[in-house]
């Protein structure tokens, strides 16, 4: 999960001076139906036929199909950052390993992990230390091969090393680009900080100690039409004000960017020092700690978990997909790119400890040891576990630019039937694909809501709006959890097929950017294998029919 990419996107958006139309709101010329703040909190649970909002029909499913139906507990693993397991809307939904006695320093259930009462953290140690930053995959590859390949042409490389050389060449170019972008980020954020300070000085000269609201700022901006410099400063201040970008938190962003330089982009940074394992040995697998919660710089899992399974019965902030879902936190994400070793072991941990669905809301564009991960995916398939992952937020075609995780081998042959890749959709039929979402007729399976998602946030029982294929993935995981809770005899393969077949089709065209930079309109149905947006109501109907056939 590359926080640097997110930060750079934020900076780029700032410089367009159109923040309100470019971030969480669906940008574009024609929104099908403006939504109120209250509607936005549950829009993705709505039904298109009843509400004219292209959600997943969850409310309709509960009202018409599940009101008098009993299910069984289902464990859904969230492979991600540390998770706020004490949040008011999540605490009753957290998996408890009843075979483990808390804090006794003994592996009571003999699963190889001591005191794993709620899950496992592969990025920490028993002293309480944890990884806040880890390398980008490009940095790892450069670190491994730089001494072998730097400055050499392919004709100088032995044939048996040429595959590694090609990977190194791609990684080196990406690494250099990321370093350049990081430096631009620091420079741009510093410029924004100076602009905000200057804007406050101008406002103080107009009305000392006054706190201006948005309407007053708009009025002032209009008054300074003849003074383009002052007007520009005030516009920037207004944009910063809208997103609560104070000099203090801009300085925090600057600090984060500089820390990226020193860690994720620095080959000399020892990213595994905390665990002390051998990162090149997949069999060196007993590392980490049972502390799956905590205040880490990159908080991500809590927004994912709230979308998936926030308590539906407590009358608080968010309703997840089912109270039968118990969330198993497995930590293997920090700021940087996920390590293939941690990914593979996290999948195996979740499978071995009872998860029937695994949500993985992250990804990367390079992989050094994908065979480790592929073997773990096959292991999950053998154990009848469904894996669901985010398709990526690069506005890119995954069929042309490989994105990890995926279930295709190096020969582009699909090797698993338990794996779903999810793109992000919106409530706007004129822009049904979220502008940031990756897509692909072959490498993305289905779309799900992923914009302006109201969900839980790390902190003292906080809530927030978030977006990304990271939020679309737990929507699909939530529906998968529903199906496996109410129809436990259905296999992972069957649940995947139901989700693919039962989605909602939309006769809509969406804009995509081509390789040459030009844009074109294509049918939404061409952006994924199913061509659909996932639908809980339809999926439950289909599961009911299939379950009766099995009986």
DSSP 476-539: HHHHHHHHHHH-TTS-HHHHHHHHHHSSBP---EEEEE-TTS-EEEEEGGGSSSS-SB--HHHH
The active-site residue out of 80, 340, 397, 445 is 80
Q: Hey, CA dihedral for 486, 491, 492, 494, is it positive or negative?
A: negative
Q: Where are the beta strands (DSSP E) in 95-239?
A: 120-121
DSSP 226-247: T-HHHHHHHHHHHHHHHTT--H
Per-residue buried b or exposed e for 70-82, using 16+ beta carbons within 10 Å of the residue's own CB:
ebeebbbbbbbbb
3-state SS, residue 271? coil
Strands 462-466 and 453-457: antiparallel
Alpha carbon 534 to chain centroid distance?
17
Residues 6+ apart with CB under 8 A from 193: 247, 250, 251, 254
The active-site residue out of 45, 87, 135, 300 is 300
Helices and strands in the chain: count of H runs, count of E runs: 16, 11
Active site residue 57: no
Active site residue 401: no
Rounded-to-integer distance, Cα 453 and Cα 437, Å:
15
CA–CA–CA angle 97, 387, 291 (5° rounding): 35
What is the biggest distance separating any 2 CA atoms in the chain, rounded to whole angstroms? Answer: 78
CA atoms within 13 A on the CB side of 224: 19
Q: Are 449 and 475 in contact (CB under 8 A)?
A: yes
The active-site residue out of 124, 367, 470, 502 is 470
Classify residue 415 by burial, with Cβ atoms within 10 Å: 0-12, 13-18, 19+.
Answer: middle
As a whole number of Å, the CA-based R_g of the chain is 24
98 is written with which tokens?
Answer: 């009843």
Active site residue 300: yes
Rounded-to-integer distance, Cα 346 and Cα 122, Å:
8
Residues annotated as part of the active site: 80, 300, 470
């Amino acid at each position: 999960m590359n926080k640097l990419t997110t930060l750079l996107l934020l900076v780029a958006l700032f410089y367009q001076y159109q923040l309100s139309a470019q971030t969480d709101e669906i940008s574009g010329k024609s929104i099908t139906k403006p939504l109120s703040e209250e509607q936005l909190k549950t829009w993705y649970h709505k039904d298109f036929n009843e509400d004219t909002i292209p959600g997943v029909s969850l409310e309709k499913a509960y009202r018409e199909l599940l009101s008098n139906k009993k299910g069984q507990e289902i464990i859904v693993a969230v492979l991600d950052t540390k998770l706020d397991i004490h949040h008011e809307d999540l605490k009753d939904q957290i998996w408890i390993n009843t075979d483990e006695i808390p804090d006794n320093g003994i592996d009571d259930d003999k699963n190889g992990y001591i005191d794993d009462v709620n899950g496992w953290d592969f990025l920490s140690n028993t002293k309480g230390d944890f990884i806040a930053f880890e390398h980008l995959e490009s940095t790892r590859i450069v670190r491994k091969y730089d001494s072998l390949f730097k400055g050499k042409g392919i004709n100088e490389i032995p044939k048996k090393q040429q595959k590694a050389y090609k990977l190194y060449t791609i990684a080196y170019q990406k690494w250099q680009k990321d370093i350049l972008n990081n430096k631009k980020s620091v420079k741009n954020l510093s410029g924004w900080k100076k602009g905000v300070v200057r804007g406050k000085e101008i406002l103080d000269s107009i009305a000392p100690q006054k706190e201006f609201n948005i309407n007053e700022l708009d009025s002032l901006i209009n008054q300074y039409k003849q003074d383009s410099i002052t007007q520009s400063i005030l516009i920037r201040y207004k944009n910063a004000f809208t997103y609560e970008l104070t000099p203090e938190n801009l300085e925090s962003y600057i600090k984060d960017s500089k820390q990226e330089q020193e860690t994720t982009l620095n080959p000399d940074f020892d990213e595994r020092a905390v665990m002390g394992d051998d990162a090149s040995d997949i069999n060196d697998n007993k590392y980490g700690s049972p502390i799956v919660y905590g205040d880490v710089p990159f908080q991500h899992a809590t927004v994912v978990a709230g979308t998936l399974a926030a308590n539906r019965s407590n009358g608080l902030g968010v309703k997840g997909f089912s109270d039968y879902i118990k969330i198993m936190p497995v930590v293997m994400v920090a700021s940087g790119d996920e390590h293939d070793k941690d990914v593979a072991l996290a999948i195996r941990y979740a499978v071995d400890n009872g998860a029937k669905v695994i949500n993985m809301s992250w990804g990367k564009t390079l992989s050094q040891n994908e065979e480790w991960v592929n073997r773990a995916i096959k292991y999950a398939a053998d154990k009848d576990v469904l894996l669901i992952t985010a398709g990526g937020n690069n506005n890119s075609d995954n069929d042309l630019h490989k994105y990890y995780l995926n279930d295709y081998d190096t020969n582009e042959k699909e090797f698993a039937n338990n794996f779903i890749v999810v793109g992000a959709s919106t409530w706007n039929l004129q822009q049904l694909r979220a502008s940031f979402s990756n897509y692909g007729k072959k490498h993305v399976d289905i779309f799900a809501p992923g914009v302006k998602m109201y969900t839980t946030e790390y902190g003292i029982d906080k809530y927030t709006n978030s977006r990304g294929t990271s939020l679309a993935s737990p929507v699909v995981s939530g529906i998968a959890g529903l199906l496996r809770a109410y129809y436990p005899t259905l296999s992972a393969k069957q649940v995947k097929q139901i989700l693919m077949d039962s989605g909602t089709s939309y006769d809509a065209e969406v804009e995509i950017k081509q390789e040459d930079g030009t844009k074109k309109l294509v049918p939404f149905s061409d952006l994924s294998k199913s061509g659909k947006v996932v639908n809980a109501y339809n999926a439950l109907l289909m599961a009911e029919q299939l379950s009766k056939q099995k009986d």
